[in-house]
Amino acid sequence: ATECHATDQGELQISMLVMHDDKLVPLGWIHTHPKIRVFMSSVDLHQQCIWQCGTPEAISIVVSHETRTPRSGAFQLTTTGASPTGLEQVKSCRKDGHHPDHQPDCDGSPGNGVYDHCEHLSWDGALPLEIDDVRLMTLDICT
């Protein structure tokens, strides 16, 4: 397969509850593009819109297994500048699946005012990193 989609929204909601229960603050999401370059597809943009509407600081990290550079990037929908902003454009869109409406320039770099690189982030490989896969966690719900 060249792509996959979340099919169980209940699982996503349980993951969010687990994070809340463990006092974790989700700052965004990470996903891979196994065979293509680093950019935000229209599907990614709609997912980012959900995150950013709930947490304005939310970022999307994209990692590619391609040998091209860059092999990773962090992005956000635009909230300033062009009118409508990227966030407003995607929020008002009712299309599903891949569609070219919000796509950047052909070379994959952010463009068209829809999304941009998170220039305020810095990467430091020397800092400790802990990743919790919330899909593997359980939620203790009292009845």
- Domain with 98, as residue range(s), is 27-122
Range in 7-16, 76-85, 122-131 with the lowest mean pLDDT:
7-16
Residues β-bridged to residue 32:
63
Q: pTM of this prediction?
A: 0.73
pLDDT, position 30: 87
Q: Quick check: is 134 in a domain?
A: no
Percent pLDDT > 90 in the chain is: 15
Q: Is residue 137 situated within a structural domain?
A: no
What's the domain count of the chain? 1
**17 located within any domain:** no
**Mean pLDDT over each residue of the chain, to the nearest integer:** 76
Q: Is 18 a domain residue?
A: no
Ramachandran area for residue 16 (φ above 0: left; ψ -120 to 50: alpha; else beta):
alpha
* Residues 27-79: tens digit of each pLDDT: 888 888 888 888 888 889 999 998 899 889 999 999 888 777 778 889 999 99
Overall average pLDDT of the 8-13 stretch: 56
CA–CA distance, 82 with 52 (Å, rounded to integer):
18
Q: Is residue 105 part of a domain?
A: yes
Contact 89, 57 (CB under 8 A): no
Q: Residue 96: its pLDDT value, please? A: 83
- Judge whether 85 lies within some domain: yes
The pLDDT assigned to 7 comes to: 53
Residue 133 lies in a domain: no
In-domain check, residue 132: no
The CATH code of the domain that includes 96 is 3.40.140.10
Q: How many residues are listed for the chain in this entry?
A: 143
